Each structure stands twice: as structure tokens, then as C-alpha cells.
Amino acid sequence: MGERRVYLNPAKLIAESLLYREKSIKLIPVPWLLLKKSKKSLCGEKRKIIFDIQVKDNIIEFMKKEIPLDKANRIINNGPVVMVSTVYKKKPNIFSVAWSMPVSHSPSCVAISSGLSNFSTRIIKETKEFVINVPDVSLKEKVIGCGSVPGDNVDKFKRFELTPVKSKKVKAPAIQECIGHLECRVHRSLAIFDHIVFVGRVMAAYVDRDKWDFNGNIWRLERCQILHHMGGEFFSTIGSI
């Protein structure tokens, strides 16, 4: 059957799982648990749940898999451009960030530098939470979009057709289309002239399971092209040596 990625609502999930069962494909129990638990949507619309799964070796698996917090920093160790998601009064927002870095192993902490005039800066100051999402090159235009439009009066999830999904430990949603995620609570913030550096303690870390080497705890660069911002309109990607 191979790998594939499908987005399902509960009704479809039931239909698909029955189908798989008929074909004696094993279904991992987690979706059922989630189905039972979730009264509300993971993306805003009532009862609509988005599962990101793959079928591999006849087993349905979630695409996203948690990695240990002491390895969480590896998600941004290579310095990718990231998309930072937040939420304030139920309104989610995204902005693009080239200036991010790991700052502590134990506990795992990361930092982002956010311009004083950004709407996101206000949200993060208020909510003390954010999610760092790692896009791959396929999201380049959306990275530019989310990094060019102020979020005060725009729903950037809708405008740039990105999917907010419920985070594990913070209220801010993660961005489904990205391949790596760090859920952060602000540990400290530091004003440096025209930017504020938010140091976030990583509360949860997860990645697309097919793109991550779980032994080496690094990106599998033969399976994903990670995006780096050189400045202005210039971007690059990296390879192994």
C-alpha cells in the first residue's frame, strides 16, 4: 500500500478503518481514544478532527511523533527559518522567524528574536506561549507570506491555507503542514533595542516520523529539504557531507 498522507474527519476515519480491517490492516488504537475524547474540533470547526496518518507495513500510524525533550533542540540545530504560531483570544497567528536558536540542553530551551512592532510580540508577551514550526522548501511562499503581512487584522492560517492543529501542552496551535514542532512557554524575555528575545522552555517536541532519524536524532535530509533564510528574498537549503 505504501506511504500516504490523508486527512480524515471522524466519519471518514471510521469508514476507512472498517475498510482497512476488512483488508486485515492493523489499526493502532490511538485514533479511537482521540475520537472519544474530542468533543471539540482540533482546528476550530465543531467535530472536525484532522488526523495526519500514514499506512506503512499495513499499520496506520500518526505522521507526527514525539521526540525526547533532551533531543528537542536538534529540530532547529541547523538554523532553519521557522514559522512561529501563537493564539490570543481564540485568534491564531503565524509569523516567520529567521532568528531562532537553541539555548539550553537541560531543560531544553530555545530562543526567538521578535521585532517590537510585530503583532506576535504583543501576543507572546501577553500569553507567554508560542510554537516553533519547521517548514520545508514546499512552504517557501507561505513563509514569505506570513513574514510579510501583519497579523492584527488577518487570519494568516486562512489567508495562506495552513492548518492549525491542537498542541499538546500549550494553547497556541501547531501548523500541520510543517515537519517539526517545538511547543514553548516563555521562560524569560530580554529587550534588545528594536527586538525582544523570548527564551522558551520546550514543553513538547514532535516531528514527521518519516523525515526524522530517531537513532541519530537528526533530520533525514534525503527525505526533506529544510529551508534557510539568507536575508531579503534569498533562501537556501542544506545537504549532508
**Among residues 51, 88, 95, 206, the one that binds ligand FMN under rule CB under 6 A:** 95
Shortest Å, Cβ 34 to ligand FMN: 30
Q: Which stretch binds ligand FMN (CB under 6 A): 45-53, 112-120, 127-135, 212-220?
A: 112-120
113 or 163: whose CB is closer to ligand FMN?
Answer: 113
148 or 240: whose CB is closer to ligand FMN?
Answer: 148
The answer to whether 223 and 77 have CB atoms below 8 angstroms apart is no
Residue type, 140: K
Task: Give the C-alpha separation, 28 to 32, whole Å.
Answer: 9
Task: Give the C-alpha separation, 141 to 146, whole Å.
Answer: 9
CA distances to 114, 143, 186, 219 from 196, rounded to whole Å, are: 5, 21, 12, 29
34 or 197: whose CB is closer to ligand FMN?
Answer: 197
Shortest Å, Cβ 130 to ligand FMN: 11
**Among residues 81, 124, 165, 179, the one that binds ligand FMN under rule CB under 6 A:** 81
Q: Tell whether residue 111 is a contact of ligand FMN (CB under 6 A).
A: no
Closest by Cα among 49, 17, 44 to 34: 49
The answer to whether 35 and 50 have CB atoms below 8 angstroms apart is no
Contacts of residue 215, defined as CB under 8 A and 6 or more positions apart, other chains included, come to none
Q: Report the site for ligand FMN in 140-169 (rule: CB under 6 A).
A: 143-144, 147-151
Q: Which residues here bind ligand FMN, judged by CB under 6 A?
A: 81, 93, 95-99, 113-115, 118-120, 143-144, 147-151, 229
